[in-house]
Amino acid sequence: MNKVMTRTQHHPGTRPPGRRDTRRPTGTPPRTPNGVTPRPSPHSTRPPTAPGTTSPTGTATRTRHADGRPATTQALTPPTVPAQTPRRPLSQPRPTDLFADRLLAVLTGQRPVHFMLRHTLGHAYDDLAHLAERGPLRSTAHSARPVVRDIGYFVPRTGAIEAFARISAGDRLRAMAFRLELGTDRRWRCTAVELDGPRRPHPQDD
């Protein structure tokens, strides 16, 4: 057998039902049995929206003139992005400048001779090795480091350049001449190099 337990309900017995309390104002709403004053409906607390307006997240606003003219819609102007200046392409160094720096790096001992192995043809590698062995441009702790001052060149034919460079080594100027030829792979290579005069003779040159 199931037992159902109920709580005893207590009714307020301070005054009989239906009797008006003369101590309370007439406009005071009656209390509920549990002593809580009823609240108004939540549907009536929200103020009405004025016509012609949009929510804060809208993209347009409507304004009314002071003289009573109809309202006009004002569109929000999107932010403008400043135009970017196109970048100029980097200019490629001339082959005469590249080879002058490469040859000087070997002659001053900053680079080994085999650094120019894939950049030379014919006797140019042997001539460069002979010049580097003598070390005419090697700087010491008390001497200035040699630098290329200026470069000149002459084009005897298409795919060939005869160039010379003035090298400053302290108070002394040195002259370096070299020849460049363009290969079938579209790469320039040094085919001859001289320093302070004509190159050394080779046996097959006689």
CATH 3.10.450.50 fits 95-198, yes or no: yes
Q: CA-to-CA distance for 179 and 96, rounded, in angstroms?
A: 9
> Do residues 100 and 137 make contact, with C-beta atoms less than 8 angstroms apart?
no
pLDDT of residue 93: 84
Helix axis angle, 95-107 to 124-134, nearest 10°: 40
Give the start-to-end residue ranges of the domains of the chain: 95-198
Q: What is the pLDDT of residue 190?
A: 97
The answer to whether the predicted template modeling score (pTM) of the entire model surpasses 0.85 is no
* pLDDT for 151: 95
Predicted local distance difference test score (pLDDT) of residue 2: 40
Q: Give the pLDDT score at 137.
A: 78
The pLDDT assigned to 105 comes to 92
User: In this predicted structure, what is the pLDDT of residue 130?
Assistant: 92
CA dist., res. 126 & res. 192, Å (int) = 10
Sign of CA dihedral 125, 127, 130, 136: negative
Name the DSSP class of 4.
-
What letter represents residue 204's amino acid? Q
Burial 81-119 (b: 16+ CB within 10 A, else e): eeeeeeeeeeeeeebbeebbbbbbebbbeebebeebeeb
Q: Would you give per-residue pLDDT tens digits along the chain (206 residues)? A: 444 444 445 555 555 555 555 565 555 555 555 555 556 555 555 555 555 555 445 455 555 556 666 655 556 666 777 777 777 666 778 999 999 999 999 998 889 999 999 999 999 999 999 998 887 777 766 677 889 999 999 999 999 999 999 999 878 888 999 999 999 999 999 999 998 866 566 655 54
At 105, is the secondary structure helix, strand, or coil? helix
Query: Residue 56, exposed/middle/buried by CB under 10 A (0-12, 13-18, 19+)?
Result: exposed
